[in-house]
Chain A
Amino acid sequence: MIDLEILLSGLAMVLRWDLFLLMGVGVLIGAVAGAIPGLTGGIGIALFLPLTFHFPALQALVFLLSIYTGSTWGGAVTAILINTPGSPAAAATAFDGYPLTRKGQASRALGLSLSASMSGALIGALALMIALEPLGRFTLRLHAPERFLIAFFGLSIIASLRQKNQAKAFLAGLFGFLLGTIGMSPTGAMRGTFGWMYLLEGIPFIPVLIGVFVIPEIFKLMQEQYITEKLVVPNHSLGEVMKGFWETFRHPVTLIRSALIGVGVGAVPAAGSTVATLISYNQAQVLSSDDEEKFGEGSPKGIIAAEGANSSSEGGALATMLALGIPGGMGTAVLLGALITQGWVPGPRLIVEHMEVIYGIIWAQFFEALLLLPLGIIIAYFASKIIFVRTSILIPIISVFVMAGAYSLKYSFVDVYLLIFFGLVAWFMREYDYPLIALILGLLLGPMADAEFLRTYQRYAGDFTVFLTRPISLFLLLLTVGLLLYPYFKQLRRR
């Protein structure tokens, strides 16, 4: 139950001009960092972490969280404008955002993403406020079988990616899965590394992701003079951004459902916002009626589902991080570091001992989400001018940023070579209709599935009936089977 007195004193703590200034600066930094391919919110937070060492706990956490909030939306800007997700979580936004840009409706797409992101962040913060304590208790009950099934559930999305070329989708997903298992196994054995220490921790995800999304896009842009098929000047306006902004609220079911998926998946350790957006996007696609604008061709519901889940997952991830000390993704991992730096010990005791500050942070999340509106409109308006730049000028600029972003992760040029290699692989894949997202899903969820399956085997002495006997496992299993069979059921019903 929420203690109203502590809740209000938490609010009083954040109603200060210096905190609002930090929030504004943080959201701006986050949006810019999120928009630069290769610089995710996590990296943005990590880069500014040293700056907060001299701040009091509340200021430090509010500032870093603002960067996080800004970055969740920032990734959508480049995903929509140049089909280059600034962050992994924005990958699903590109599916429908970029087709809208190509139709000359970039401003509308940016407006849609902005309002979905803002609403998602508000719902996420509200959910965090209400569910912090019960969610903490629930996630404690998730063990290896459930965590494996969560990864398996994410992987099952591959089945619904391509109804016509399912064999290709599966091959791409399995290849990603295989790549994801490269590195040190959970028992400490080296797999697929050929003794190369660079691969000890596995194939670095960020350079692969940048390569997979950016390089094929660069090749595609080479064949055109401008990003858009036709330059539609009247659509490129602040009015169009606002039109897109309000359009989101005409799809309340998609918005609320995606926000709830985001909160739920975001709360699951290691699942993160990328998985949340993909599940949400898939659900919106599966549950959409046939007469609607097709997903993948500029559907507003696609953008809402992706961005709503992306921003709300922050609330879920924060709940798990604060309650259990388990980060949901890279961003929360860095935030966890910031908490520890402040001398706090994350876990159930943190909530008891610092409840007032925790509520202060949650209130700050509300204000950050609201600040996203004016700041986002400014960023969206100026960013959408990019469509008037010739591709011959854009390509070298993107290439340099991609190279600098990939290098700056670990100061390693090997990462850049890896980016180029996977970019070429992705180019072939896209040319011959292999879904890139299947590769990414496999790469992302493969290690989690592998580790949790092994833990289940060890913990339950090879007895896999545990998936059926544990209630949460059984529920997740049925959910996965349902997701796998639903498209076929839908097809049968149509006949």
Chain B
Amino acid sequence: MRLGNKEIKFHPGEAVFPLLVLLAGIMYIYDLQGIGSPHLNLLLIRPLLIVLFPLSLYLFFTRGFEIKRGTGSEETGVGVFIVFKEWSRPLIFILFFLLYVYVSARVSFLYTTFFFVLAVLLLLGERGMKQLFLIPALVSSFVYLVFVRLLGVLFP
């Protein structure tokens, strides 16, 4: 974005954490509405929030935005797509992980483990048939032996 002879560049990655802290602080305050004995229960929380808000705003604006003087390159919006391309593999992994937890809770941890390991191996580029079947089977068996048999953990 351009403002006169200044160019303002937005760094979405830098803005994420201060924004998250800000959001968490607002939610926290919202939940504190009507709390009993605020002079006691918020004794240390108040000064904490007083420092937290300006600090997160400061970092949001100073790190999230970059102001450059003079002529700069045209804003194309391509940067955001590059960031998402870089994040695609971790994000797919997280989706697999969430699905793994969700299905484990409903079906069976051990069977789901087999398919989760298989899916992640494929995601990370393993193509050998031996690895693709042997590793999931070994991991599932090992988890069963250590957690279920040895430590007595009860899985669904």
Q: Chain B 1-30 against A: per-residue CB contact (8 Å), 1 yes, 0 no?
A: 000000000000110111011001101100
Q: Are the CB atoms of B27 and A416 closer together than 8 Å?
A: no
Q: Which of B21, B90, B97 lies in contact with A427, CB distance below 8 A?
A: B90
Q: Chain A 177-207 against B: per-residue CB contact (8 Å), 1 yes, 0 no?
A: 1110110010101111110000000000000
Please report whether the interface of chain B is mostly helix, strand, loop or mixed according to DSSP: helix
In the assembled complex, the Cα of A431 lies from the Cα of B31 at a distance in Å of 30
Q: Are the CB atoms of B105 and A413 closer together than 8 Å?
A: yes
Instruction: Report B-chain residues with C-beta under 8 Å of the C-beta of A179.
Output: 24
Q: Which of A191, A218, A425, A457 lies in contact with B20, CB distance below 8 A?
A: A425
**A454 interface hit (Cβ, 8 Å):** yes
In the assembled complex, the Cα of A324 lies from the Cα of B143 at a distance in Å of 39
In the assembled complex, the Cα of A170 lies from the Cα of B155 at a distance in Å of 40
Instruction: Report A-chain residues with C-beta under 8 Å of the C-beta of B17.
Output: 171-172, 425, 428-429, 432, 434
Interface size on B, residues (CB 8 A): 60
Instruction: Report B-chain residues with C-beta under 8 Å of the C-beta of A396.
Output: 116-117, 120-121, 124, 135-136, 139
**A12 interface hit (Cβ, 8 Å):** no
Q: Are the CB atoms of A187 and B37 closer together than 8 Å?
A: yes
Interface size on A, residues (CB 8 A): 56
**A352 interface hit (Cβ, 8 Å):** no
**B70 interface hit (Cβ, 8 Å):** no
In the assembled complex, the Cα of A428 lies from the Cα of B105 at a distance in Å of 28
In the assembled complex, the Cα of A456 lies from the Cα of B21 at a distance in Å of 29
**B129 interface hit (Cβ, 8 Å):** no
Contacts A191-B31, A193-B31, A392-B124 given; does A397 touch B139 at CB 8 Å: yes
Give the segment of A62-70, A105-113, A341-349, A398-406 that binds chain B: A398-406
Q: Which of B24, B28, B98, B116 lies in contact with A400, CB distance below 8 A?
A: B116
**B52 interface hit (Cβ, 8 Å):** yes
Q: Are the CB atoms of B90 and A219 closer together than 8 Å?
A: yes
Q: Are the CB atoms of A407 and B155 closer together than 8 Å?
A: yes
Instruction: Report A-chain residues with C-beta under 8 Å of the C-beta of B139.
Output: 396-397, 400
Q: Chain A 383-403 against B: per-residue CB contact (8 Å), 1 yes, 0 no?
A: 000000001110111011101
**B147 interface hit (Cβ, 8 Å):** yes
**B151 interface hit (Cβ, 8 Å):** yes
Q: Are the CB atoms of B52 and A458 closer together than 8 Å?
A: no
In the assembled complex, the Cα of A270 lies from the Cα of B132 at a distance in Å of 46
What is the chain A residue whose CB lies nearest that of B32?
A191
**A297 interface hit (Cβ, 8 Å):** no
**B94 interface hit (Cβ, 8 Å):** yes
Q: Are the CB atoms of A431 and B13 closer together than 8 Å?
A: yes
Contacts A167-B58, A393-B131 given; does A404 touch B147 at CB 8 Å: yes
A168: min CB distance to chain B, Å: 7
Instruction: Report A-chain residues with C-beta under 8 Å of the C-beta of B105.
Output: 413
A416: min CB distance to chain B, Å: 5
In the assembled complex, the Cα of A167 lies from the Cα of B59 at a distance in Å of 8
Instruction: Report A-chain residues with C-beta under 8 Å of the C-beta of B67.
Output: none
Q: Chain B 23-49 against A: per-residue CB contact (8 Å), 1 yes, 0 no?
A: 011011001100111001101110011
What is the chain B residue whose CB lies nearest that of A393?
B135
Q: Are the CB atoms of B32 and A192 closer together than 8 Å?
A: yes
Q: Are the CB atoms of B25 and A178 closer together than 8 Å?
A: yes
**A246 interface hit (Cβ, 8 Å):** no
17 contacts between A and B (CB under 8 A): A47-B151, A168-B59, A171-B21, A171-B56, A177-B48, A189-B41, A190-B35, A400-B139, A400-B143, A403-B97, A403-B100, A403-B104, A407-B109, A407-B155, A420-B94, A420-B98, A432-B13
Instruction: Using A191-B45, A219-B93 as known contacts, list a sample of 7 further A-B pairs with CB atoms less than 8 Å apart, ordered by residue number in A.
Output: A170-B51, A175-B52, A192-B32, A194-B31, A408-B151, A413-B101, A431-B13
* 9 A-B pairs closest in CB distance: A392-B124, A396-B120, A396-B117, A408-B153, A219-B90, A192-B28, A189-B41, A413-B105, A185-B41
Residues of A that sit less than 8 Å from B by CB: 47, 167-168, 170-172, 174-175, 177-179, 181-182, 185, 187, 189-194, 218-219, 222, 391-393, 395-397, 399-401, 403-404, 407-408, 411, 413, 416-417, 420, 424-425, 427-429, 431-432, 434, 449-450, 453-454, 457-458
